[in-house]
Structure 1
């Protein structure tokens, strides 16, 4: 039986894509930048335009618009003298494009972004939930399917290893962000995230763990196979 198809918009190197593929989807990615390490079918181009022009060709759509405008790093640097904050906010345009496709086709859509972003918190996921060595909290705005979450596990007793303010800290969690200076090896990052198809640090730093979209993909599949289905966490 042919796999159902999901569009992975703003796909970067394919962290989300891996989870959806593991859930049984045929994944097609689109990104404005070339993504030579993307492991599935890829199209280079404007993601919002691709959603508008081709979204109706898929059974579901996932979108991860750029999140630099909402990151904690950006928020902290806004007070610095000389800081130029010119990050694009593509969430509104993406939300409009997804809503238009849903109106036309009724297919379910998922939009993902970082903590602090202007997304509805229909689902909030943390790496601890899936036994990962990253916290990596992410918001998901989901329409057309109900995806139940897991109880958020306490961070108590968990510490992020790495250098902070010139001091080396030990811990069981891995800091996957920035250029990786003093924050673990590439293998540490890959293992912590559950991503092994790329070993490029900036690609890993921008990714979401595939375990998150595997969880969402299972719910999407159940809803597409039987629209009244409800997937328990």
Structure 2
């Protein structure tokens, strides 16, 4: 996939993980600064180990766009089922409030079942990927177009409830149940700069944020032309 020329705009990538979201913005031409409370030695751009909420309050106004992937464990199906009773932080309300203080456009990404507004829902099939990975996106202060949700071509391959399924998609999570190889995960996600399963499992495909970045650039260009 080709990478666009630098456009002079900067994205602050909060709770950045290994940089799946960041790479999409980079491919669209943005410069990226990532922030995470944990070390991220394989993050491919400028990185700061820090509290994301404190960082956005202090520095968010210096950026053109803010992206946040607040921890999702509070909202996942596993937490509400298999892991019920475990306590996980819900940083979405606090994080949203912090981002709003900056006056900057922002994007919040999270899992199905989370409390983010469903301004945009993306799926790997929309981009021809080998992973389903539905994600919700809350978009603040710029319009986006919802890509049609193309019907899935089949099942996610792997073992569930003692039965093995074949299908065109890889299950990029966990370690058992006939999960694919690391190489299959990398290909399915469009991520080749890490070979760590946990990092891949927690990332989103760069194709998602590249799509959002293109929408932001269109809105940004239109706003400048109208000024």
TM-score (norm 2): 0.93
Q: Find the counterpart in structure 2 of residue 135 from structure 1.
A: 132
The verdict on how the C-alpha distance between 1:180 and 1:98 changes in structure 2, with shifts beyond 3 A counting, is farther
| Secondary structure, aligned partner of 2:101 | helix
Contact 2:57/2:98 (8 A) holds in 1? yes
Q: Find the counterpart in structure 1 of residue 159 from structure 2.
A: 163
Q: Find the counterpart in structure 2 of residue 52 from structure 1.
A: 57
Matched, 1:217 2:213: yes
Q: Unaligned stretches of 5+ in structure 1? A: none
1:228 Cα deviation after fit: 7.1
Q: Find the counterpart in structure 2 of residue 205 from structure 1.
A: 201
Contact 1:133/1:193 (8 A) holds in 2? yes
Contact 1:179/1:202 (8 A) holds in 2? no
Equivalenced residue count is: 220
Contact 2:160/2:177 (8 A) holds in 1? no
| Secondary structure, aligned partner of 2:97 | helix
| Secondary structure, aligned partner of 1:28 | strand
Contact 2:13/2:66 (8 A) holds in 1? yes
Q: Find the counterpart in structure 2 of residue 148 from structure 1.
A: 145
1:224 Cα deviation after fit: 2.4
Q: Find the counterpart in structure 2 of residue 33 from structure 1.
A: 38
Deviation sequence 1:110-161 (CA, Å, 0-9, x none) = 1110000001100000110000111111110001110101111122x41111
Matched, 1:90 2:91: yes
1:73 Cα deviation after fit: 1.4
Contact 1:180/1:201 (8 A) holds in 2? no
Distance in structure 2 (CA, Å) of the matches to 1:31 and 1:120:
23
Distance in structure 2 (CA, Å) of the matches to 1:202 and 1:17:
17
Structure 1 runs of 4+ off > 3 angstroms? none
Distance in structure 1 (CA, Å) of the matches to 2:61 and 2:39:
24
1:3 Cα deviation after fit: 2.3
TM-score (norm 1): 0.90
1:59 Cα deviation after fit: 0.7
Contact 1:61/1:109 (8 A) holds in 2? yes
Root-mean-square deviation over aligned CA pairs: 1.5
Contact 2:14/2:35 (8 A) holds in 1? yes
1:30 Cα deviation after fit: 0.1
Contact 1:16/1:207 (8 A) holds in 2? yes
| Secondary structure, aligned partner of 1:92 | helix
Q: Unaligned stretches of 5+ in structure 2? A: 1-5
